[in-house]
Structure 1
Amino acid sequence: MIGWYVHHHGWGHATRLRAIIPHLDDEVTVFSSLPQPTDLPAGVRWVRLPSDADDIVGADGARRPARHFGDETARGSLHWAPIAHPGHRARLAVIADWAAASEVSAFVVDVSAEVAAFVRLLGIPTVVVAQPGRRTDRPHRMAYEMADRILAPWAAGTVPAEGLTGFDDRVRRVGGVSRYDGRRAGDSAARRVLFLGRTVDDAVLRRAIALLRADGWSVETAGAGEGDRVDDVWPMIAGAHVVVSAAGQNSVADLAAANARAVVVPQARPFDEQGETGRVLAAGGWADVAPSSTDPEHLVRLVQRASDRTPDWSGWQVRGAAARAAAVIGEVRV
């Protein structure tokens, strides 16, 4: 049995899980505060964890913020361990009870420094998923120190990831993990642009779309506004001449899988995660990169410039990355 912790911010961590699971030959139990996704693969159990960030409700009915009773970072040693929070205690207890009752071969943590430390203290071989950005703080260093393997979902020589310095014996850079690896890209339609996800504010998006349509472009959106969520965006990515996307790991890996012409707009994230990725993409010539404060006219110019590119995403090493990630987990299984 493999345990797997999925962070609750967005759906990117769960998407990566789903890409890797088909390459594992063991059952998986997933722990997350996220609701269970539909159509989980066979052999996967989803355990919903209590929240550790909502208000604490006392016996008197009074509500207090999660960090009310003291320093939730333990003087900078941790990212989040709120004192006297019943949800925090309960979520760790759920994992411990499961571990005590199961034959656990390995545990993947994507991502939480606290869960990584806790699972390793339970004596379980631990794989920590790394992320781009300036992750040189004490909690990240603790998680990397305690990990049996560090799974970096990018290709060697791309993301600097200064926080991984000193852990070369355990780091495995597997390439960008995309759920669409192996799907045929097909031919893109000339002068069709796809806005993928929420990359710019609504006013900039509306104006950019108007300018592009006035210039003869057809425009599609997926997850960029209200009511346009698409579960399988592959046909839209593969059919677009240019894709405008954020710089999240899954989004970039999907662009690479399609060998897409792209304009990437890094979003503000902790530890400058997307900022670092954007700089790598710009320096490597994989995509045109715009600041999050870009104006509609600049964005349109970048779309037009990207349309003249002939990209080569092979260096992002998406092909086979999910299988290589599964092999990393296999390295530590007992």
Structure 2
Amino acid sequence: MTGLGWYVHHHGRGHLTRFEAVRPHVIGPVVVFSSLDAPTDLPEDTRWVVLPRDDAPYDRAGRRVDPQSADPTVGGLLHWAPLGHPGHRQRLAAIAAASVSHDLDAFVVDVSVEVALWVRLLGLPTVVVAQPGERTDGVHALAYRAADRIIAPWPRALVPSAALEEFGDRVEWIGGVSRFADRVVVARRDERSVLILGQALPGEALARARDEAEAAGWTMTVVGADAAPWQADPWDQLCAATVVVSAAGQNSVADIAAARARALVIAQDRPFGEQAATAEALDRARLAVSTPVPQPGGLVPLLERARMLEPEWSTWQVAGAPARAAAAIASVVR
């Protein structure tokens, strides 16, 4: 294998985190394309190509254009291809040029319908990373049909997807991908401690939650929120907390599963109901308590409910998921 291309979407950190979890299991050189800056600790034999953004206003024919007004969906055929945007054109040109100069053999797309179609038009075997939620629209179906393999990074039995069922053996349901999949869980948990991960609670609700929790005898630690310092490796806190409060993003849930933590999950508003589908599945399987942002006075009863859970996190299939993803990728290389 002379080279693998990999597109990492720039929204949030989840797509990057998933790449970092899977990359150690992928053999050979990888060229990453993203509008994110390259991490400081890129693995050996990994090159990072920074792509221009295509979602900012731009100049066209002497006037300032908002890309939202430039037919970005091509009348509903695609998700994002704004007319005349130089950044959009430069992104695709950079991918095409690198596919030749690096002699790429295959391409992983996490996630973009347009990039998936583009690399398949370049004649590259294509792996598309799917996401939960209502994705039965024609645009998603177009990307799935173009893919040689589809990776669904969650357990099929717990989060079924009508959008993927028609693609049969092309879909690899690999389970939740966590960067902590190989870590040893610390058995001891602190008494009545709560860990808030990332942006699970907006600012005002977070301040209120701290007051309510401490008044009820809970201690609170916050990691990754706007007012809290960023922590690249919160494993010890995940293992120590009585309850973890988190959004229902795929990486956060997989990390919680790896730590076998009790959790309260709050679905963030995401396109196609991605986090809502995940949160509902977790609640249904009694792996976590799912809730909207708690109203005043509502947090502590939810923490008490979550504290009583005995979640069977092995059903989220975190163990071995990064290696299964790498095997699915390797299977498309001819």
TM-score range (shorter-chain normalised) is over 0.9
Root-mean-square deviation (CA, aligned residues, Å) is 1.2
C-alpha distance in structure 2 between counterparts of 1:174 and 1:96, whole Å: 29
Residue 227 and residue 201 in structure 1: after superposition, are their counterparts in 2 closer, same or farther (change >3 A)? closer
Match of 1:224 in 2: 225
Write the deviation string for residues 238-293 of structure 1: whole angstroms up to 9, x where unpaired: 1111100000000000010001000000000000000000110011000001113x
Q: Which moved more, 1:10-19 or 1:49-58?
A: 49-58
Match of 2:112 in 1: 112
Match of 1:10 in 2: 12
Match of 1:154 in 2: 154
| Counterpart contact for 1:205–1:296, Cα < 8 Å | no
Write the deviation string for residues 124-164 of structure 1: whole angstroms up to 9, x where unpaired: 00000000000111110000000000000011211122211
1:132 aligned partner, one-letter code? P
Q: Secondary structure at the match of 2:297?
A: helix
Match of 2:129 in 1: 129
C-alpha distance in structure 1 between counterparts of 2:115 and 2:31, whole Å: 15
Residue 112 of structure 2 is aligned to residue 99 of structure 1: no
Match of 2:166 in 1: 166
Q: Secondary structure at the match of 2:107?
A: strand
Match of 1:273 in 2: 274
How many Å apart are 1:13 and its aligned residue? 0.1
How many Å apart are 1:67 and its aligned residue? 3.9
2:163 aligned partner, one-letter code? G
| Counterpart contact for 2:209–2:299, Cα < 8 Å | yes
| Counterpart contact for 2:174–2:324, Cα < 8 Å | yes
Q: Secondary structure at the match of 1:303?
A: helix
C-alpha distance in structure 1 between counterparts of 2:296 and 2:327, whole Å: 44
| Counterpart contact for 2:52–2:90, Cα < 8 Å | yes
C-alpha distance in structure 2 between counterparts of 1:201 and 1:100, whole Å: 45
Write the deviation string for residues 141-190 of structure 1: whole angstroms up to 9, x where unpaired: 00000000000001121112221131012000000000001111102211
TM norm structure 1: 0.96
Q: Secondary structure at the match of 1:164?
A: helix
What are the residue-to-residue correspondences of 1:259-270 with 2, within 5 Å? 259-270=260-271
Match of 1:290 in 2: 291
| Counterpart contact for 2:287–2:310, Cα < 8 Å | no
What are the residue-to-residue correspondences of 1:28-67 with 2, within 5 Å? 28-58=30-60, 60=62, 62-67=63-68
C-alpha distance in structure 2 between counterparts of 1:197 and 1:270, whole Å: 19
For structure 1, the 5+ residue unaligned runs are none
Q: Secondary structure at the match of 2:67?
A: coil
Q: Secondary structure at the match of 2:331?
A: helix
How many Å apart are 1:43 and its aligned residue? 1.4
| Counterpart contact for 2:179–2:255, Cα < 8 Å | yes
For structure 2, the 5+ residue unaligned runs are none
Write the deviation string for residues 55-97 of structure 1: whole angstroms up to 9, x where unpaired: 112464x4221244x4211111100001111111010000000
C-alpha distance in structure 2 between counterparts of 1:189 and 1:201, whole Å: 25
C-alpha distance in structure 2 between counterparts of 1:147 and 1:164, whole Å: 12
1:262 aligned partner, one-letter code? A
C-alpha distance in structure 1 between counterparts of 2:102 and 2:31, whole Å: 10
C-alpha distance in structure 1 between counterparts of 2:8 and 2:218, whole Å: 39
| Counterpart contact for 2:222–2:228, Cα < 8 Å | no
How many Å apart are 1:206 and its aligned residue? 1.4
C-alpha distance in structure 2 between counterparts of 1:52 and 1:256, whole Å: 35
Match of 2:241 in 1: 240
Percent identity between the two aligned chains:
51
1:307 aligned partner, one-letter code? R
C-alpha distance in structure 1 between counterparts of 2:220 and 2:273, whole Å: 30
TM norm structure 2: 0.96
2:318 aligned partner, one-letter code? V
2:178 aligned partner, one-letter code? S
Q: Which moved more, 1:184-193 or 1:138-147?
A: 184-193
C-alpha distance in structure 2 between counterparts of 1:27 and 1:128, whole Å: 19
Match of 2:316 in 1: 316
Residue 38 and residue 296 in structure 1: after superposition, are their counterparts in 2 closer, same or farther (change >3 A)? farther
